Amino acid sequence: MEIADIQRLAAQVKSSVGQVIVGKDEPIEFLLVALLCEGHVLIEDVPGIGKTTMAKSLARVLGCSFRRIQFTPDLLPTDVVGVSIYNQKSGDFEYRPGPVLSQVVLADEINRAGPRTQSALLEAMEERQVTVDGVTRPIPRPFLVLATQNPIELEGTFPLPEAQLDRFLIKVALGYPDLEEERMILRRFREGNPLEELHPVVSSQDILDMGARSRQVAISEAAEDYLLRIVRATRKQATLALGASPRASLALFHASQAYAALHGRDFVLPDDIKRLTGPVLSHRLILSSQSRLRGQNAQDVLREVLLGVQVPVEERSAP
């Protein structure tokens, strides 16, 4: 597969999802970045913005198996990974697969489940496998977890632990639509739900091929050094109690490759790294107590970091 093929197929996916989701080209693109990297996405925003609809729309156009898990306080780990049930006729235990053994999993309102249930996703998200009663079973590829959560309504929720937040490649916020976008939403949903009209535009093998090709995208030493200086700068910030980890460096590296491929390039630009720094790193940082008291957030800190790290400039030889 060539880079032009990745750009073409990605454009088809974005166009199809755009039939339902209005004015959110950039968040859709971030979801595609995670898909090519076989990472996972945390969609965090206020209710009614379209988080669940976006996840459903993407799953429908990918041609992959899809399951939705509605996270609630009484959800058990076995409700996620599956359970072995004794069959009286055969005299053996039979495994009943859980919904996580799908290619695209929508973990709706993930922060409403307890810590034990949240941790049941950890092995699946990191190792792409589940272990039940000592037996390990692989999850079909590609595998993408799209988790949603509401940052406003905190009553009855359980904040995601840092270990699980670190498993998400990208964190996405959608935001409110502008006047004309909201007008389009009203007209588009006036007579029905356009989600029901979506159909697959790529295959599972297409997605795997796109991901494999994107990992061959070149990144220069200057761009690589820029990425490393950004990550290392987060570890020296007084406003942070914990900076980005080496896993975060790898995540930003691979996400930049995928982002470049989606834009039809076989090389990474410093601007690609800069654009992805917020979505890839913000949820991996822990603010100091003083920063939280001052009302700062991770995005504010990353903006300061980017201002302090010089962007490499290509040197051109004199004619």
Q: Report the pLDDT value the prediction gives residue 315, as an integer from 0 to 100.
A: 45
Alpha carbon distance 59, 64 (integer Å):
7
Q: Report the pLDDT value the prediction gives residue 274, as an integer from 0 to 100.
A: 94
CA distance readout (Å), 315 to 124, 227, 306: 45, 18, 21
Which residue from 274, 259, 251, 194 is spatially nearest to 10, judged by alpha carbons? 259
Alpha carbon distance 77, 121 (integer Å):
8
Give me the domains of the chain, ranges plus CATH numbers: 1-214 (3.40.50.300), 217-310 (1.10.8.80)
Alpha carbon distance 288, 134 (integer Å):
40
Strands (E), 37-165: 41-44, 66-70, 82-87, 92-97, 104-108, 129-132, 135-138, 144-149
Count the Cβ atoms, other than its own, within 10 Å of residue 133: 9
Dihedral sign computed on CA atoms, order 25, 3, 278, 113: positive
Q: Report the pLDDT value the prediction gives residue 153, as an integer from 0 to 100.
A: 65
For the chain, the first-to-last Cα distance in angstroms comes to 37
Alpha carbon distance 110, 101 (integer Å):
17
Alpha carbon distance 96, 89 (integer Å):
16
The encoded tokens of residue 87 equal: 């069959």
201 touches 273 (CB < 8 A) = no
Cis peptide before 312 (omega within 30 of 0): no
Q: Report the pLDDT value the prediction gives residue 319, as an integer from 0 to 100.
A: 40
| Binned average pLDDT, 10 residues per bin, the chain of 319 residues | 91 90 89 93 84 85 88 90 84 86 90 84 85 86 89 72 85 88 88 85 91 94 95 90 90 96 94 94 87 82 90 57
CA distance readout (Å), 26 to 17, 32, 41, 56, 172: 12, 10, 14, 17, 9
Question: How many whole angstroms from its chain centre is CA 273?
Answer: 16
